Amino acid sequence: MVKIIVTRALPEVALERLGALGDVWVSTYPRPLTVQELHEAAAGASALVTMPSDRVDAALLSAIGPKLKIVANFAVGYDNIDLDACRAAGVAASNTPDTLVETTADLAFALMLATPRRIVEGDRLIRAGRPWSWSWDFMLGRDTWGSTLGLVGLGAIAKAVVKRAKGFSMDVIYWKPERAAAALEKELGVRYVTFDELLERSDIVSLHCPLTPSTKHLIDAKALAKMRPTAFLINTARGAIVDEAALVRALDKGVIAGAGLDVFEREPVVHPGLKQRANVVLVPHLGSATVETRERMALRAVANVEAALGGQPVPDDLT
């Protein structure tokens, strides 16, 4: 019997399709599996459906054994997978591209509204029963409408954010290592600037780049110092792109005005300095967390497993 390991529960429609392929084991732990638990559970598997918290490396592949045909990651990002190790073992590795673009763009824009306008802070004030009354200077925030938005990266999610930003009459600038084609810039109505220019000119800096060795701590103390004291940092990409300790110091010193974060450097651990600040909106990695999107992601992962076990090319193979 074909053995399929799922490291965290999936929508029932996805599990039903996997059940038609073989014997499915789904972790019932309300947390990520430990390394030992993952190695033991996956031994002898033909397919492994992983979450972003699961580290897939040579040691895991060795523990699973030669039957393994695919590691199907339930995510668009795949920095948790050692692709070289998968190639060496002859194992396909896949992700779920193009399934969460609009949903994550929605959340990024929600943070762009909630953080400058102090929405969460106001909610806490009312729930705490603190006295308040309307006055012209009560809980003043900053406009998102008409501001300058700086995008770090111009992938699918960033492009979706641009569409939303245009509805708010925002001036959108962007930076990425390789400039986009002039035709795309014109179509989107965005302007290319250097990284330093983006930091210096943006009212809101929103991160939309992958986590790589070159982007780890891209937003460090030096980068934060170049931002405006009235500017806000938004991160729905990967937590380690931001040096959290440097961000806390910058917030403490008033180097920037605030931050909206959906991802964290050492998830699920969040720097205590971030939790202590009223001008930081913290969201527990909910970028793709809608019923519709998570189901799309699950079915995309299942389609990759079906192809691999059926001896067909894996649609989203990364190797």
Q: Which residues are catalytic?
A: 238, 267, 285
> Strand pairing partners for 192?
174
Whole-angstrom Cα distance, residue 209 to residue 116?
22
**What token pair was written down for 245?**
């300790």
> Strand pairing partners for 219?
242
Q: Is 216 exposed, middle or buried (0-12, 13-18, 19+ CB in 10 A)?
A: middle
Angle CA 121–234–182, to nearest 5: 145
Task: Report yes or no: 174 and 198 within 8 Å, Cβ to Cβ.
Answer: yes
Q: Which residue has the tokens 């459906």?
A: 49
Task: Report yes or no: 231 and 256 within 8 Å, Cβ to Cβ.
Answer: yes
**What token pair was written down for 151?**
């995008």
Helices (H), 12-155: 12-19, 35-42, 58-64, 83-89, 101-114, 119-127
Rounded to 10 deg, the angle between the 12-19 and 291-309 helix axes is 10
Whole-angstrom Cα distance, residue 270 to residue 264?
6
Whole-angstrom Cα distance, residue 97 to residue 47?
19
Task: Report yes or no: 135 and 80 within 8 Å, Cβ to Cβ.
Answer: no
